[in-house]
Amino acid sequence: MSEIKNVDYGLEKIFDGAKDFLPLLGTDYIEFYVGNAKQAAYYYKSAFGFQSYAYKGLETGSGDVVSYVLKQDKIRIVLTTPLNSQSNINDHIVKHGDGVKVIALWVDDATKSWEETTSRGAKSYMEPTTEKDEHGEVVRSGIYTYGETVHVFVERKNYKGVFLPGFEKWESDFNPEPTGLKFIDHMVGNVGWNEMNKWVKFYEDVMGFVNFLSFDDKQITTEYSALMSKVMSNGNGRIKFPINEPAEGKRKSQIEEYLDFYEGPGAQHIAVATDDIITTVGKLRARGIEFLSIPPQEYYDAVPLRLEEHNHELKEDIETLKRLGILIDADEEGYLLQIFTKPVEDRPTLFFEIIQRMGARGFGAGNFKALFEAIEREQEKRGTL
């Protein structure tokens, strides 16, 4: 098993002298609003290997909503469904289908986080609120980001309970094995036409993030469609949010397709890190997770040269990577292995990325180019380029 390499994003230099007014300790949880949380929980346990963690519902005195909390290493997801037609959670589900509502961020001071961000122009979603039970107290506050998605700041330093007040430990007899998912590497948002820079500015001005990587429509393009992307990071590099917007192409961009089906901006994919992608993807495939199709042989033929260009040696067996459809990208610092699932709900919206970083700090943009170059080489042979 290979180790996750510590990736130096060089953010200390970018942030040099600047005070981080919104220190973030990490991702606290991701909450999905779904049509049937009980069944969704079964899927995330069975297929992705998440573990039963906490629960609230009728049995715990929650009459309006049910929430299942699942955990795998540092990743916590919450699946929430309303229990009647009055809840405004229904509106979210009717409009967007199953999707991410809350990207919760772990902070030391939720009140200060709310004050710092709202005073810089954030729209409030939740004023600082203290919830208590016999295990202590949690302070939460929240602000809106793109679309109807929100960031909730969670201050849990005075809490010893399993998740949040109101939740109980979820004991289940059904506990499929984890698949090796460790933590959230990055989370991507899709925003509307010409809105990327607006949201880049939001993360810069309101949350104190920096834009440390950008890809224009010349870099992320196929014959038919294109997109633009800018990667935003907080001060310590623990939180990375790439923001995509569609770009003009001959046909519909995948971002445009998302916006049509999600009926607005929202979370496009959640990238989760593993330190053994071959084992993880093998397990996920065996449990029914569907991935995007395996690239052609030409893609894998080009890999050794791509790694050589940056003086890196592939530690994994390339035939195994090919068999599993895992993609390889390289930069000066190292390489990365990644693969993308198909959408995990009926609408072609949210999907997952599984990523193993072997020193590389990029997001796989090189894979677009390599894939297209490989196709062009074939076209050249056919005389159709």
Distance CA 299, CA 326 (A): 11
What is the distance between the alpha carbons of residues 89 and 76, in angstroms, rounded to a whole number?
A: 20
Nearest distance, CB of residue 39 and Fe ion, angstroms = 27
The least distance separating Fe ion from the CB of residue 175, rounded to whole angstroms, comes to 29
Nearer to Fe ion, 276 or 353 (CB): 353
- Residue ranges that bind Fe ion, judged by CB under 5 A: 271, 353
Between 51 and 211, CB nearer to Fe ion? 211
CB of 146 to Fe ion, least distance (A): 16
Of 161 and 362, CB closest to Fe ion: 362
The smaller minimum CB distance to Fe ion, of residues 164 and 336, is found at: 336
Task: Specify which residues 11 forms β-bridges with.
Answer: none
Q: Closest distance between Fe ion and the C-beta of residue 372, in Å?
A: 18
Residue whose tokens read 């919830």: 131
Provide φ and ψ at 262, rounded to 5°.
-85, -10
Instruction: Single out the residue of 255, 221, 226, 229 nearest to residue 376, CA to CA.
Output: 221
Identify which of residues 143 and 184 has a Cβ nearer to Fe ion in the complex: 184
Kindly state the helix (H) or strand (E) to which residue 212 belongs, with its residue range.
Answer: strand 210-215
Instruction: Assess contact for 128 and 114: CB atoms under 8 A.
Output: yes
Q: Which CB sits closer to Fe ion, 37 or 271?
A: 271
What is the C-alpha to C-alpha distance for residues 126 and 153, in angstroms, rounded to an integer?
9
CA distances from 62 to 35, 55, 71, 337 (A): 17, 10, 21, 42
Cβ 363 to Fe ion shortest distance, Å: 5
Question: Which residues have CB under 8 Å from 1's CB, separation 6+?
Answer: 275, 276, 279
What end-to-end distance do the CA atoms of the chain give, in Å? 42
Least separation in angstroms between CB 339 and Fe ion: 11
For 125, the enclosing helix (H) or strand (E) is: strand 124-133
User: CB-wise, 122 or 267, nearer to Fe ion?
Assistant: 267
Q: Provide the minimum distance between the beta carbon of 270 and Fe ion in the complex, in angstroms, as a whole number.
A: 9
